[in-house]
A = this chain, B = another copy of it.
Amino acid sequence: MITRTANRTDAAAEFKTHERIERNGVLTDGIGLALAKIERRRPLSAIARKAFLQLPHRRCIVSKHTELMRAGDRPNESIFLERGMLGRSKFDDAGARQIVSLHVPGDMVDLQSLMFEVADHGISAETDSVVLYILHREILALTDCFPEIRRALWFDTLVDAALYREWTLNVGRRNAMTRVAHLLMEIGYRLEEAGMGRRDAFSFRMSQVGLADATGLTPVHVSRVLSRLKTEGILRWHSSGEVEIPDWDNAAKVVGFEPDYLHVEGPRG
């Protein structure tokens, strides 16, 4: 269980501030991934898409365990995740950490505090990551100009809320085995949605300590649970960081994983 540390955000290295990353004609930088996520739900108009892609931003490489935001901060920027994995976490009195959500590339991580003066939680890199910083005022300006973008971002924060609900169920009612497996299946599913691998074979480089913080367990117990999940053939997490779920449908049934709460179908109306 990790306790609060004194790491400083400015340990983050900054580079290639405004460069776009393209592959086969598809933008695979953080903005492009976020746009793709939005447009999987509902395509934007050409003009809104263009405005979104022109969001000014700075890119940072951050190493694992870097704290990008801490409870009590007054951020004026949101974070878009381009590579790696971020965790959103809160601490109890005794300093025990609970990760309340994990984020995959393409996630617009801190729309949550777009309107909050003071952050009520922290955000830290669970693996080495690449993040984009975008000023709140730039995002709010976009939402003022483009109703479709406004709806898309509001929708996105509502999906985040749906994930929080599922996580509360996860830590509140599921036992350690299904809890850990459910979380890994969610991540696999979301990574596949984001085009970062297959849901039944993906890269997960977070430590078991992090996984323990995400599931409300201790690292010791997570280790035991993972070995049981392997012997029972539900999933394997190789030391390389690759997760394999040999029989997805069976695992989903055993674990009770139903992805409806991820709302991949997009907004209505």
Contacts and interface: CB of A to CB of B under 8 A. Distances in A.
Interface string A243-261: 0000000000001100011
* Size bracket of the A interface: 35 or more
A171 interface: yes
Nearest to A161: B161
A58 interface: no
Contact of A115 (B137, B158, B173, B256): B158
Nearest to A118: B260
Contact of A261 (B96, B120, B158, B161): B120
A17 interface: no
A155 interface: yes
A115 B268 contact: yes
Contact of A116 (B92, B98, B166, B268): B268
10 contacts: A91-B169, A96-B173, A98-B172, A100-B164, A112-B162, A115-B154, A116-B263, A117-B268, A118-B260, A168-B171
